[in-house]
Amino acid sequence: MALSLQQIRKNCLDAKMLFERAKNEKFAIGAFNLDNQETLVAVSRAAQKLHSPVFVEVSKSEVTAIGIDNVRDMVDNYKLEYGIEMYINLDHSPSVEDAIEGIEAGFELIHIDVSQANHDATLQEIIDATKKVVEYARFTGALVESEPHYFGGSSNVHEEKFDLEEIRKTFSTPEGAKSFVEETGIDTYAAAIGNLHGSYPIPKVLDLKLLQTIRDAISCSISLHGGSGTPGHYFEEAVKIGVQKININSDMRKTYRETLEEVLAENKTQYAVVKLMSQVEDAVQKVVESKIALFNSSGKANI
């Protein structure tokens, strides 16, 4: 059932207040990718068990597969069933039109990222698109997230190593962050400090000194994309510095697939796969719980 405009605006205001609590109380909200119903169940159970607020997020591919209104309905149903504080983030929306669709569907957080679809997008093109989304988001009060350049990697499990020096060339700068935030009016800045989409055979290294200079330069919320495969101590320190949102995807997908493969191998004559999914949900839930603990968001739900 579609939400009323009044309810959408209340949800968006609640999400805004959540970011304020995160800033004041030094915790980050986990933003966990929703691939299907099983991952949504896993995130919901983890949030309920640890009394933690969470974002579930979908990108263009998940929206295409599930349907944007179906995502809204599924999240609302599980939010009610488990009695949890949960919001939806439209992650890496590739165009203004896609972002507007998310706003009209009642998503509380919109990440506009035209550089994801066009790696060669100019800074001015990114700024112009972001400003349009910020303006339209005032209709519901949805929060807008963006960044001034392409953010590398992909939400997958990679076999190749990454070149840290090459990645370093795309790092955020405090000057660039300040200018971008002031010009666009965004609510959340997606910082690049060594975080990289996907999971790799070598651990990621976050430049916490750079993060501190960015935190000192801007007053809006800061998010970290590409959280998978990152040693936990970086998250703990990033939260202390002042990160309010951390995205997790590949760690969940890897656990989901590996567990499903094990369960299928152990149950070769069972074709009602739905009967085998509880073990998969449990495994993904443990991943989510481990991240929530690192983000210091346990017990922080406003329910």
Q: How confident is the model at residue 198 (pLDDT cuts 50, 70, 90)?
A: low
Mean pLDDT of the chain: 93
**Joined tokens for residue 32:** 């966990």
pLDDT confidence tier of residue 162, bands split at 50, 70 and 90: low
For the chain, strand residue ranges (E) read 29-33, 54-58, 86-93, 109-112, 143-146, 153-157, 188-191, 197-199, 221-224, 245-248
152 confidence band (pLDDT: 50, 70, 90): low
pLDDT tens for 1-30 read 689 999 999 999 999 999 999 999 999 999
Q: Above pLDDT 90, what percent of the chain?
A: 84
Show me where the domains of the chain are located: 5-295
Q: Does pLDDT of 80 surpass 70? A: yes
Residue 196 binned pLDDT confidence (cut-offs 50, 70, 90): confident
Q: Is the pLDDT of residue 296 over 60?
A: yes
For residue 160, give both structure tokens: 């190749």
Q: Classify domain 5-295 by CATH architecture.
A: Alpha-Beta Barrel (3.20)
